[in-house]
Chain A
Amino acid sequence: MAFELLTQTIINGLFIGFLFGLAGMGLTLIFGIMKLLNFAHGAMIMFGAYTAFWLFILYSMNPLVAILIGTIVGLVFGVALYRTLVNRLVRAPALASLLALFGVSMILENSMLNLWSPNPRSIPVDYPTLSYGLVTISGSRVLVSIVAIAASVLLLATLRWTYFGRVIRATVQDSRAATLMGVDVNRVYTLGFSIGIALTFLSGGLLALIYPFEPFGGLQYALYSFVVVVLGTLGNPAGCLFAGLIIGLIHSFTGSYWTLNMSPAVAYLILVLTFLFRPGGIMAGRE
């Protein structure tokens, strides 16, 4: 029994960990490129979940197609938001940009409240569940993890091997020098920001497959994402994925052996400890 519980806890932790990692990746990409913390991250995760939910309910789409279209909606939303607001915030002091993005978060959350009511919603799909004795593996979690891993690998490969990725990394290292080398920094910002938002929407859509969601539910996921990106070194997508797994395991172990309610508090404790003892995160100094 004890062994089964342990196995189950580890499996659950890893599955949710990939999702945490993906959710953090959108945040850390934007931070890495433009040194801007997306304070509307939680609201955007929920918005991604609702977008997928609406496509699924109204047009009875396959959930995966709905999530994919939701990701594209996120991309368009990101471009629009960058062009109207975020380009003015890039060089603003931290206080101003955080508050303005908090304003965005307020608008999104209350729009969701009006559009979809405060009731928790979910995407009801039944994927087959695998069981080995007492250990069960839910099909939807496997699916979510596969999509999350695929998206993460795609992003990392793009950053590593394509021209666009090189341009982004150059901008991260020194935006002024990149400009001198002929990089259109404004375009890199636009693309980087909207890809970050698209990843956030994607993680929201995937979240909708395994957990119920509500308009104001974003805050806790945003806080998990903050912990993940800080632990995985702000601005480092690969570290973020690794940190996502750690936080996923911690989340799941707290749930199994203590109480799930305390899981956020444990996560923030880790955040503060990271700040205290390894302020650069686990990947500090490695690139």
Chain B
Amino acid sequence: MQGIRSSIGLNSLTMSVGFLVLIGIIGLVSDTATTSYLHAMVELMILAYSLNLFTGISGYANFGHVIFYGLGAYTVSVSAVGLNAIGTSLPTPVYVLGAGVFAAVFALVIGFPILRLRGDYFAIATLGINEAVRVTICNTKELGEGRGIYVLGLVPSYDIKTLFIQLLIIAFAVVITTHIVLKTKLGYGLRAIRADEDVAEIMGVNTSKYKILAYALGAFFAGLAGGVVTLQFACSFPEYLLITRSVDMFSAIVIGGTGTLLGPLVGSVIFWIVKDALLINFPYFHLIIFGTALILLILFFPRGIVGLVNKSLAKRGKVLE
């Protein structure tokens, strides 16, 4: 560890923000097809960062993160429909912020019981709650059952570039939040939990406070992304809560490197490009190839690309922050 302590830190924040600016500029000047491709990529990036905030840093396997995205989407549609019924409406940013806040409040409520669980138990509980909420939405008349809730005309319709800008703002916010979390006591506490929760607790880390804080913070950003998706399709579907999307986020942070600032960004870009290319070239086998790649990655590069880069940088006395 001597090498790392005396090493020169490369600034991950500058690199992440710079990279995001680059994606933003490309997306804004190119044609609609490219913009929507990048739009979906940035959406995944936000979700990956929001998952990384709790799961990535603390090592708690949250398989139900997509619930916050779905609830965010439903918050916007339900409040738009509800307000329309009493003949009023709100400016769009309020809806999106409301989506984030609702997701965070929901995380606080379910966080108290389930954050007492560890390891596999926590994974089972998050998966179970995710499916319970999805099934309940699918069977509640007021929530549109399986058809979803349409808000066409109730919220302003935006073109893809405007939506892309909204997502970029959220992406910048989540990158900076991650940076702050990693640099403050919260981040150190979460990493201590990842290393050994019992020891962390004995050393005076307020583990339950840190866990729920990071859990709700991640939920907030996932909720924001969910709010934007309702604006994009003018509808919220129960499909937004499908677990396959949780797996996408997981793959992205594992590819990039869990618990790092640059990891979710690099991971989402690579995941999106590779998955898209596989889907086009091997439409029937792309998920089989992807599953195999995921297993190999976990077995041989558990620290992801950032970990790999750090290993080679460490020899030259440098490290990614």
Question: A residues near B, CB below 8 A?
Answer: 31, 35, 37, 39, 85, 88, 92-96, 98-100, 102-107, 109-111, 113-114, 219-220, 223, 226-227, 230, 234, 259, 261-262, 264-265, 268-269, 271-272, 275-276, 279
Contact = CB atoms under 8 A, between A and B. Distances in A.
A230 B124 contact: yes
Contacts of A98: 61, 63, 120, 123
B127 interface: yes
Interface of B: 55, 59-61, 63, 113-114, 116-117, 119-121, 123-125, 127-129, 131-132, 135-136, 138-139, 243, 247, 250, 254, 258, 284-285, 287-288, 290-292, 294-295, 298-299, 302
A104 B291 contact: yes
A265 B291 CA distance: 28
Interface centre among A99, A111, A219, A264 (most CB of B within 10 A): A99
Contacts, number: 124
28 contacts: A39-B123, A94-B119, A94-B120, A99-B61, A99-B298, A100-B298, A102-B250, A102-B291, A102-B294, A106-B287, A106-B291, A109-B287, A110-B284, A110-B291, A219-B243, A223-B127, A223-B131, A226-B127, A259-B139, A261-B135, A262-B136, A265-B136, A268-B131, A268-B132, A268-B135, A272-B125, A275-B121, A275-B125
Contact of A107 (B139, B288, B302): B288
Contact of A110 (B135, B288, B295, B302): B288
A248 B258 CA distance: 39
Interface centre among A85, A98, A230 (most CB of B within 10 A): A98
Contacts of B287: 106-107, 109-110
A227 B138 contact: no
B59 A275 contact: no
A244 B35 CA distance: 50
Interface centre among A92, A226, A234, A276 (most CB of B within 10 A): A226
Given A98-B120, A265-B136, A226 B128 contact: yes
Given A96-B298, A102-B294, A264-B135, A31 B120 contact: yes
A37 B291 CA distance: 18
Contact of B295 (A37, A100, A234, A275): A100
A258 to B, nearest CB: 10
Given A265-B132, A268-B128, A106 B288 contact: yes
Nearest to A106: B291
Contacts of B60: 95
Given A223-B127, A272-B125, A279-B117, A103 B139 contact: no
Nearest to B124: A226
Nearest to B251: A99
Contacts of A100: 294-295, 298-299
